[in-house]
Structure 1
Amino acid sequence: MSTPPEGTFTALRGQLQDAATAFADGPGALEGILRGIVDDVERAVREPLEIFPVCHHSPASALAMARRLREKQPKVVYLELCEDMAPLLTELRNCRLPVAVQAFASEIEGFPADWAPLSVVAPVTEASAEYQAIAYALDTPGVDLVLVDRSSDHVFQWETPPAADAGPDAPPADEESALHGDAVGVEIGDLRPRFAELEEHLLRHGRVRHWSEWWHQYVELPLGGSDHDTYRQVMLLIGSLFRRLAPGDQRRVLIDEDRERYMWTRMREHLAATGTDPADCLYVCGAFHAASRVAEFGVGGSDTFAITAPTPTKWRHGLIPSSHAAIEAQFGLAAGSVSIAATEWAKNLKRTGVRPYRLEGQAGTKKSSGPRKAAVPALPAATPPPADRLTGFLQRPPVLDPLDEAELLGWSVEIVRAARRGGYLASTADAIAVFETSILLAGMRDRVRPTPYDFQDAAVTCIEKEAVPGRRDVARLVEIMMGGDRIGQVGYDALPPLARDVHDRLAPLGLKLQQRGVQRALLDIAGRPELERCSDVLWMLRRLLPQGAARPIMGDRRLGERAIQESWDLALGTHQRALIELGYEGVSIEQVLEQRLRRAAYAPRATTAQVLEAVEDAILHLRSRRLADELGTRALEVLAGERTVDGAPEVLRRVRRLLAYYRTGEPVLPPWIESFVKTGYAHYCTLLPTAFTDEDATVRQVAAMLGFLFSMEGLALSLGCDRTQLELALAQSHPQEPSRTALLWAAQTHLGTLSRADLRARCEELLGNPLVVPAYPRYLSGFVHALEPVPGLADLVVEAVSNAFARLPDPVLLPWLPTLITSLRAGGAELAPLLIREAGRVFPARLAELDSWVPPWRAPQEIPALRPRQAIGAPQGIALLTAHPVTCDALAELLGCDGGWASPEAAAPRGAELLAGHPETATALEALLTAG
């Protein structure tokens, strides 16, 4: 392409100056802006290295790119894309578009820790100019593709990761729109006004709802059939206009200019290193950056920009599936706009006959009709210089496309058919109404031919009445009808080693794991032992992937247990992005799981319960005694440093499970768990008095502490702990809250410092005190939680609840009954089975027996029957005492009788004397010995 002569845009400058004078009452700021726009266009057009401005996912840009590549056949294509993503582009042929090129870093250096993980994505669709350039460069021999934009590391060096803030036209979040996750989107051709008032002005005067519709109506359609020079100059004009009218955010301006300096510096470096003629190159960039005014602009620009060194962060690169909805959500586009763009791309190809570029072997595309030319033809010797096409384009009235009745009728019939399938009561009359309303809306918006957006508004107006009967509303049905949300897929050969390893290890299941949707996998491990390895993989995937990727339906994995049959719902194709990102962390899922367990255990804010969970996962999924012992030692360190009891219930539950596993499966306990029990006993004894009075500690947490102390007491004492420490801790505990007071009473009963009779008497006293009755449910809550450390009190708790219902009148009982129920449900749900079993043992099994039933605690105590006193003769009593001299001596000492036994001859009178003096004692003693 030759350089245009001087004065090409002189006439346009004069017209814009006259317009500025007329509208602004004299030259000034407006004139400067308008003349500056023309200067930007002329500067870009005169550049020896041809600049090709594009807009992201624009069918007009893709069509113009395909046409220009076949005409120019450049030897070097410079593309505005992160330079570190270049090695991945060859893998696009193994994928079904749309997909996204991703740079990912989970372990970061040089950035704030709360930014992790870092992720950058660049989505690629077939109806995009960048894909046309990539396909041409990769499949044409002798052509170099050079990515010149800042690296992924520089993206975060220059910008703060934005919050998850969708644009004003962004669709609602769903499963497909979340394919990119929280990644930062990098895409060439970000062409949208950064001046909110300007965008609002364009939308209002264009009679459209959102920016995507405005672009489709006023840029996409007019440029769809334009020549190359007109396309370039119009896109440069729009880019310069939006750039000059952008708000004065100096930080944003500096970042944009640094990107332009970066790209031009890289291009000059490549030209100098290879000696390529700039005329044989093509620079593909966004129209916003094509109209640049930096000093480094152009082949002859200054070399004053110093590129900073990357941080030590290690970046992983790969391809992840994308979708139209994900692209719309990532860049704040209107719902369905990318699908409409894909439909427009297909129509443009059919209308113009342009043959697009597609990668050989590209999944989801038709095979090329013939071999690609091997030689790169040279440009014609005499290429006419580009003329001023802007003047004619701006003065030309809008082209009114004739109404395509057949197309509109087909749309109307199809949307009614789709609405019926979706549960709407749509009929032929609705199809006619949609047809006429589409034409009416288009006329109100100054266009003859209804656009897909006009048709969508008409369909919503005529079909969707008050409610949506199915899963999708009419607007979503129109989007599906116009092309739907195409979801890409990364092929097996383009997957990272970890993902390929997962697919290979799950091959015995016989499922199409690449396929989206849920698939059922049945594992008969007893009949096919080789499926046990598949089970191991599935359990690890369940631990590593998001919920729903691998969900067990039947079967469980617990310590010391092995399932013989399992059933799974798998959706690995739907969650392919998450599986690919696992491959950035390691080469096998075992390695990734071990890294994550270590990371969780050694996190600065890791709790004892979390570390014990990591120990359990290491045993369950990795079967690694070495890793379990290491993490167990870490749990001991974390426990010694904790000063709260927040995780006591979880710690108790996991330690009990681990102890049971080691006692049944190991000859001796590991040293770390013995030290853990010993340290935990002393640790919780120290914290117990404070926890009883701490308002932040709950009753459940205090009960869990007591459960640890009581259940581990035997092992702790055998390891050298002192029970006196526990007794002193309880003696120093003085709770004021009713539930904790009841918990303390239960603990004292367990230690023997409070008898069950005294505990029963205290409960009776509480019920008899009118001032305490309103707080009685909280006492019961404490007793329920006491079943964790002292399960033997279940009968007393049942008795306490029964006495309350039996003694309290309805005006007192009914007001606090909801409090009792809610407290039991909130804090004692897992202890309810104990109470239910005890109540089932105590209460009658049949309703007929209830009237005559007497509670065990109210039944009279059975006393052994005693024989009449006169039945005991003196000789028999003497014989009894003589037969048990030790008992007689103890009894005499208790009664204060001095003296010893006389001779056998004198024994009878002496015993008779004793019996005569204490007849009741002799009777009781006989009854006791008889009962024994």
Structure 2
Amino acid sequence: MTATPTDADPAEATAGPVPHQTDEAPAGAGLGPAGTGPFGRLREQLLDAAVAFADGPAALPDILTGLVDDVDRALREEVEIFPVCHHSPASGLAMVRRLREKQPKVIYLELCEDLRPLLDELRNCRLPVALQAFASDLDGFPEKSGPLSVVAPITEASAEYQAIAYALDTPGVELVLVDRSTDHVFQWAPRPAPGGTPADAPPPDGTPPAGTPAGGPPHAGTPAGTGAGEPAAGETGGEEAALHGDAVGVEIGDLRPRFAELEEHLLHHGKVRHWSEWWDQYVEQPLSGADYDTYRQVMVLIGSLFRRLRPADGAPLTEDADRERYMWTRIREHLATSGVDRSACLYVCGAFHAASRVEQFGSAGEHTYEISPRTKTRWLYGLIPSSHSAIEAQFGLAAGSVSIAAATWRKATTRSGLTPFQLAGPKGARKRTGRKRAAAVAGAPAPVTDRLSHFLASPPALDHLDEAELLGWCVDIVRLARGNGYLASTADAIAVFETSILLAGLRNRGRPTPYDFTDAAVTCIEKDTVPGRRDVRRLCEILLGGDRIGQVGYAALPPLARDVYDRLAPLGLDLEKRTVQRALLDLTADPHLRPCSDLLWTLRRLLPPGAVRPIMGERRLGERSVQESWDLAIGRHQRDVIELGYQGVTVEQVLELRLRQAVRAPDATAATALAAVEDALLYLRSPRLVEELGERAVRLLAAERTVDDAPEVLRRIRRLLTHYRATGPALPAWCEDFVTVGYAQYCTLLPTAFTEEQTPARQVAAMLGFLFSLESLALSLGCERIQLELAVRQSHPEAPPKVALLWAARSQLGLLTLAQLRERCDELLANPLVVPAFPLYLSGFVQALEPVPGLAPFVVEVLSKAFARLPDPVLLPWLPTLITTLRGQGGDLVPVLIREAGRTFPAGLAALDGWTPPWSATAPTTAATAAPVAATSGPAVDLLAGHPATCDAVAELLGCVPGWAVPGAGGGGPTGVATAAGPAAALLARHPDTAVAIDDLLDT
């Protein structure tokens, strides 16, 4: 093991992101010669031990004596330093005792200074909650790093909450937050290296540092890693473990070794599985009943130990040193402006910072530190609900450790008779009863006495076995296990009892801890299977205190969240509950509930899945439900509702802002803009916004050089056109522009899309669908059909699906007759070299049903011919490829083929034998066939003979010369077609059934 010397610490001397002066003062500066002072004898004992166990004076004596020097220096400071550990019951108990005894007038607290206004709102909340600073509009930070979020969780058992509650509810006491602002948290965060690798890159195995959220820089004081075998806190927490989102966590008093080898050594020799258990056994329990001086000296000693024992090539403590300079600078500024007596002040900070050796340490120091200005980023502040599992996941603690700490806190306060401080008026607060200790008026500081020697030399006090408590745990865990599907019995309770005692004995404990009990329950009850949703370890967490979840009260909510609660009040539900509640809305009988329905649909659009879920009812363009049913879990997603309040005053304003941001994003596409238009029509009554988003969609479509979103564009513009045609007299101007721009754009990109291998056939089919289905509208708006014809003629694809699509497009344009198309497909089926690739051609024909839906009978014909003509050795290997091709590339169009096949093929087996495929039937063209037409008279024939202009126009389009011979009236009968000449007449002669059917209809 290597360690940095005590007299020169190059790591902490390294210049940080903020300019500052020289580094820390030498160890033991101002303490007098070795062997003097209250800790002189302890220093001499440590030096003698170092010489005895080492080869000579080297790094070890310096480290051991440096620890004592750090303790002596912290305790001599005129502003009393109170070292704490984050969410430590021992720290909370010591804080309560010290506040009642000292009654300080000013409390300096290690917490981001700009979070101070939020502390007054804690009285309206149910702990645990987290203070949050949020910024989405960045100025001075990289745009891609946003949004930025910082959270600082607060629990009732923490020392910082006790200090906050005392200061806010005690007249004449001032609470000053002295840690760097949330803006500085991100200013000082490690920035990516020039090569793109962050300065604090994760280890080679890819595991991120513990407590580091995805997408954000690590928080200050993040532990170096989880202990050996430590369970991840987020694995069993579920939704509760994600209450903080991806915010950066700020904690007071992170105490964990920065040296991985040291942590492994402590866990191994302490016979524990993870760091939380080691801390509970060797620090929490011994210090819970210790006096204040002992607690203070031990905590500073631990902070100094973890500060000094770290690898020589480890990460520098630059950020920690800068935080300490920042805090002492703020303390000096307040002392200078307020003139308060230093002996009446209390500085609450992490034990790691209490052992600081920066030159700015102390209220009487002369070294100055220049604090850099904040950026122009606008920060928004609020409170969000937190939970024990969220805190564990945020800071890399073992699952259940915070719940166990809360249970320990409740037991310790009851046993000691202390009355914790609690803000007056928090929602759901339970008034505690207990004996208050007599408070002493703060006076001159008591002389420093050595309590470390006695504490370090005394063996740990072993608690006696509390059989009643352990029996209660064992009975309750068996009851919980049976309720969750385990086959547990009284024998298992006895086994858990005995195993807990056995494990405690193996770990040198006289009294089983909750960790021993949990391990014993997992061993004896869970065995090898988990029958239900919860495993035994999770059941133990529930038994020992559960995952307490906080809640932000109505008065502490931002305006948007309060507005949501107020507007949903007519539903008659308690939206603050974390349970899922069912809301039934009969919008016909109760029209006053329609605003609630509109708000619920908007919340469904903004909140994550599960917060607001419709069971019955839907909202589409032109459709509104008359009855709706909703499952609401707004209380469970309170954090998401609160964070909406950082973006606007109402949910409609937030949605409008998000829609505008979506269409102006660098990666925005025409499909994105059309989706925004649809959302604006569905949820917002703002024609101006719809027009703005539509015009943006036109510009984005004109600027696109790829067709990746063509299917989405086609689907959405069709739906929007249908909506406008059904609800208004004319299309909006932006819709007309979109159609004309899209027609020209897709005609230009069509030849390239046909030939590019990167463009799938699905996108080409969507382009053709846009061009063919909207062709009539585009032509009426001034587009020219010759653009499409030229684009199709210039397309020369090679991929089979695109070849089939091109044939279908040419058929639609009249450049390829159906007979020619049938002939080409017959050639493909007759070619044995092409047959294996025929499913790809068929996939192209299926995709062609999007632009050319009239091609469905032909596709059915091609499929039927393939199954009829191909031999089994060719057909059977071909079928899997056909099925996978159709499923992957035309799954939504296959139902069209199925319906067409249902109309083509006979409905029963009896008719199948005499059935002739319509594409195989031939009708002879003879004079006998034409005779019935010549001899037929009736309304249809009279109509055609009396108005030949229609048939003449069709004949001209077909390139034929019309010719009619209509005799005069005779015999008083109707005018008939006596003789006929020309293609139109020949067509009627070959297909007389149509005219006869029309005659029957007209006669009827």
Residue 441 (structure 2) aligned to one of 373, 378, 386:
378
Contact residue 501 and residue 512 of structure 2 kept, 8 A: yes
Q: Partner residue of 1:103?
A: 133
User: d(CA) in 2 for partners of 1:29 and 1:337?
Assistant: 35
CA-CA distance at 1:866 after TM superposition: 1.3
User: d(CA) in 2 for partners of 1:867 and 1:192?
Assistant: 100
Q: Partner residue of 2:816?
A: 754
Alignment of 1:336 with 2:400, yes or no, is yes
Distance 1:117 1:31, change over 3 A: same
User: d(CA) in 2 for partners of 1:862 and 1:58?
Assistant: 99
User: d(CA) in 1 for partners of 2:986 and 2:605?
Assistant: 69
Alignment of 1:364 with 2:394, yes or no, is no
Answer with 221-230 or 762-771: which moved more. Answer: 762-771
Q: Partner residue of 1:297?
A: 361
User: d(CA) in 1 for partners of 2:678 and 2:777?
Assistant: 21
Q: Partner residue of 2:337?
A: 273
Q: Partner residue of 2:973?
A: none
Q: Partner residue of 2:597?
A: 535
Contact residue 192 and residue 242 of structure 1 kept, 8 A: yes
Q: Partner residue of 1:857?
A: 919
Answer with 834-843 or 150-159: which moved more. Answer: 834-843
CA-CA distance at 1:861 after TM superposition: 3.1
Alignment of 1:261 with 2:325, yes or no, is yes
Alignment of 1:453 with 2:483, yes or no, is no
CA-CA distance at 1:868 after TM superposition: 11
Q: Partner residue of 2:642?
A: 580
Residue 321 (structure 1) aligned to one of 354, 366, 385:
385
User: d(CA) in 1 for partners of 2:910 and 2:267?
Assistant: 80
Distance 1:369 1:434, change over 3 A: closer
Residue 58 (structure 1) aligned to one of 88, 96, 107:
88
Q: Partner residue of 2:825?
A: 763
Contact residue 55 and residue 287 of structure 1 kept, 8 A: yes
Instruction: Output one character per residue of 1:744-769: Cα deviation in whole Å (capped at 9) or x when no partner.
Output: 01101100011111111111111111
Distance 1:868 1:477, change over 3 A: closer
Alignment of 1:618 with 2:680, yes or no, is yes
CA-CA distance at 1:718 after TM superposition: 1.2
Q: Partner residue of 2:272?
A: 208
Q: Larger % of helix: which?
A: 1
User: d(CA) in 2 for partners of 1:745 and 1:290?
Assistant: 80
Please give the residue correspondences for 1:773-812 in structure 2 after superposition, counting only pairs within 5 Å: 773-812=835-874
Distance 1:401 1:327, change over 3 A: same
User: d(CA) in 2 for partners of 1:42 and 1:919?
Assistant: 122
CA-CA distance at 1:255 after TM superposition: 0.5
CA-CA distance at 1:593 after TM superposition: 0.5
Q: Partner residue of 2:894?
A: 832
CA-CA distance at 1:113 after TM superposition: 1.6
CA-CA distance at 1:301 after TM superposition: 1.4
CA-CA distance at 1:378 after TM superposition: 2.6
User: d(CA) in 2 for partners of 1:794 and 1:148?
Assistant: 75
Q: Partner residue of 1:287?
A: 351
Q: Partner residue of 1:231?
A: 295
User: d(CA) in 1 for partners of 2:930 and 2:190?
Assistant: 98
SS in 1 for 2:408: helix
CA-CA distance at 1:847 after TM superposition: 3.0
Q: Which runs of 5+ in 1 are unaligned?
A: 874-882, 892-900, 902-914
Q: Which residue type is aligned with residue 34 of structure 1?
A: L
Residue 307 (structure 2) aligned to one of 243, 247, 254:
243
Please give the residue correspondences for 1:77-116 in structure 2 after superposition, counting only pairs within 5 Å: 77-116=107-146
User: d(CA) in 1 for partners of 2:49 and 2:930?
Assistant: 132
Distance 1:358 1:249, change over 3 A: farther
SS in 2 for 1:223: helix
SS in 2 for 1:78: strand
Q: Partner residue of 2:21?
A: none
SS in 1 for 2:614: strand
User: d(CA) in 1 for partners of 2:40 and 2:436?
Assistant: 43
Q: Partner residue of 1:217?
A: 281
Contact residue 418 and residue 435 of structure 2 kept, 8 A: no
Distance 1:477 1:927, change over 3 A: closer
Alignment of 1:397 with 2:427, yes or no, is no
User: d(CA) in 2 for partners of 1:614 and 1:228?
Assistant: 62
Q: Which runs of 5+ in 2 are unaligned?
A: 1-29, 192-211, 936-944, 950-954, 956-964, 966-978, 996-1004
Contact residue 97 and residue 364 of structure 1 kept, 8 A: no
User: d(CA) in 2 for partners of 1:803 and 1:253?
Assistant: 78
Alignment of 1:477 with 2:507, yes or no, is no
Q: Partner residue of 1:521?
A: 583
Q: Partner residue of 1:409?
A: 471
Q: Partner residue of 1:151?
A: 181
Q: Which residue type is aligned with residue 658 of structure 1?
A: L
SS in 1 for 2:594: helix
SS in 2 for 1:530: helix
User: d(CA) in 2 for partners of 1:920 and 1:274?
Assistant: 111
Distance 1:246 1:928, change over 3 A: closer
Distance 1:225 1:591, change over 3 A: same
SS in 2 for 1:267: helix
User: d(CA) in 1 for partners of 2:365 and 2:873?
Assistant: 92
Residue 848 (structure 1) aligned to one of 889, 900, 910:
910
Q: Partner residue of 2:6?
A: none
User: d(CA) in 2 for partners of 1:868 and 1:815?
Assistant: 49
Distance 1:865 1:225, change over 3 A: farther
Please give the residue correspondences for 1:638-677 in structure 2 after superposition, counting only pairs within 5 Å: 638-677=700-739
Q: Partner residue of 2:759?
A: 697
CA-CA distance at 1:362 after TM superposition: 2.0
SS in 2 for 1:52: strand
Instruction: Output one character per residue of 1:108-152: Cα deviation in whole Å (capped at 9) or x when no partner.
Output: 111112211101000000010000000000000010011000000
TM-score by length of 2: 0.85
SS in 2 for 1:826: helix
Answer with 72-81 or 845-854: which moved more. Answer: 845-854
CA-CA distance at 1:843 after TM superposition: 1.5
SS in 1 for 2:892: helix
Distance 1:539 1:43, change over 3 A: same
Contact residue 100 and residue 440 of structure 2 kept, 8 A: no
Residue 653 (structure 2) aligned to one of 574, 591, 605:
591
Distance 1:701 1:328, change over 3 A: same
Q: Which residue type is aligned with residue 289 of structure 2?
A: G
Q: Which residue type is aligned with residue 522 of structure 1?
A: L
Report how many residues are paired.
889
CA-CA distance at 1:822 after TM superposition: 1.3
CA-CA distance at 1:376 after TM superposition: 9.1
User: d(CA) in 2 for partners of 1:371 and 1:288?
Assistant: 33
SS in 2 for 1:407: helix
Distance 1:500 1:920, change over 3 A: closer
Alignment of 1:182 with 2:246, yes or no, is yes
Please give the residue correspondences for 1:534-553 in structure 2 after superposition, counting only pairs within 5 Å: 534-553=596-615
Alignment of 1:73 with 2:137, yes or no, is no
Q: Partner residue of 1:908?
A: none
Residue 668 (structure 2) aligned to one of 596, 600, 606:
606
CA-CA distance at 1:927 after TM superposition: 5.5
Instruction: Output one character per residue of 1:714-753: Cα deviation in whole Å (capped at 9) or x when no partner.
Output: 1111111111111011001011111111110110110001
User: d(CA) in 2 for partners of 1:925 and 1:322?
Assistant: 81
User: d(CA) in 2 for partners of 1:522 and 1:925?
Assistant: 63
Alignment of 1:489 with 2:519, yes or no, is no
Distance 1:398 1:753, change over 3 A: same
User: d(CA) in 1 for partners of 2:158 and 2:434?
Assistant: 23
User: d(CA) in 2 for partners of 1:919 and 1:357?
Assistant: 109
Answer with 25-34 or 195-204: which moved more. Answer: 25-34
SS in 1 for 2:803: helix
User: d(CA) in 1 for partners of 2:78 and 2:864?
Assistant: 96
Alignment of 1:46 with 2:76, yes or no, is yes
User: d(CA) in 2 for partners of 1:104 and 1:314?
Assistant: 9
Answer with 337-346 or 549-558: which moved more. Answer: 549-558
Distance 1:75 1:471, change over 3 A: same
Identity %: 69
SS in 2 for 1:282: strand
Alignment root-mean-square deviation, CA: 2.7
Q: Partner residue of 1:685?
A: 747
User: d(CA) in 2 for partners of 1:926 and 1:264?
Assistant: 103
